[in-house]
A and B are shown apart, each in its own frame.
Chain A
C-alpha cells in the first residue's frame, strides 16, 4: 500500500497522559498536513510542513501540541497532558507541491481516533 499511513488507528488514554501519533506520507510527497476532526464536523487544519520546515500552525494548536517532521519524511504529532476535549480523529495528509500549486492535491490517511477518558 503506497497511501498515507497513520499509526495507531485508535488510542485510548487517561486525562493528563501524553500521546504521540505517527504519519508516514506518500513517498516523495514534500508536504505533510495534520487536521483534527470532531464528531459531526469537517476536518480542521492544525499545521503543515514542507519538507522538514513547519510553515503554518493553526490557533487550534495549543502549547500542549507539537508536531515534527525531522527528516522531511514521516511526522509525529504529540499531545501533552491530554484533556477530554482532545478526543477527536487526527488526520494526516500529504501532497506533492508542483509548479503553480493548483495540483497540490492532498491525500489523506485513515486517521488516528483518540479517546481521552
Chain B
C-alpha cells in the first residue's frame, strides 16, 4: 500500500470548516483513499473513501486531486465532538486486500 503523509496536528474553530490534507504521491491506479478517525479511548470510525472522484456523505467530503497524489477531508461545520485523530489510508481494492495500514494521523483539535 502507498505511504501517506499528514500534518501532525491542526486546529479549527467550532462551526468553521476543517480541511485535513493528505499526501499520497506514490498511489497506484487501483488504490483507494480511506479516512478514519479515532476519538480518545474509542475504536477507529470509518468516515469516507474514494478512488478518483470527489465524494460526500453525511459526515464529510473527500476531495481528490486530478493526479490523485493528494486529497483533502473536509468537515463542513466542525463541532467539539470532531476533536479526534484523523487517519488517511491508501489501500488497494479487490478481494485479496484486507488489512488497513495506519500512520500517525492528524490530531484535530476543535476550539470553542
Contacts and interface: CB of A to CB of B under 8 A. Distances in A.
Chain A complexes with chain B: yes
Given A4-B43, A45-B99, A97-B95, A102 B32 contact: yes
Interface string B16-50: 00000000000000001000000001111110010
Interface string A27-62: 000010101000001111100101000011010000
A56 B99 contact: yes
Contact of A100 (B43, B44, B95, B104): B95
A111 B102 contact: no
B32 to A, nearest CB: 6
B98 interface: yes
**Chain A: number of interface residues, binned into ranges:** 20 to 34
Interface string B85-112: 1010000011111111111110000000
Interface of A: 4, 31, 33, 35, 41-45, 48, 50, 55-56, 58, 91, 93, 97, 100-102, 104-111
Interface of B: 32, 41-46, 49, 51, 85, 87, 93-105
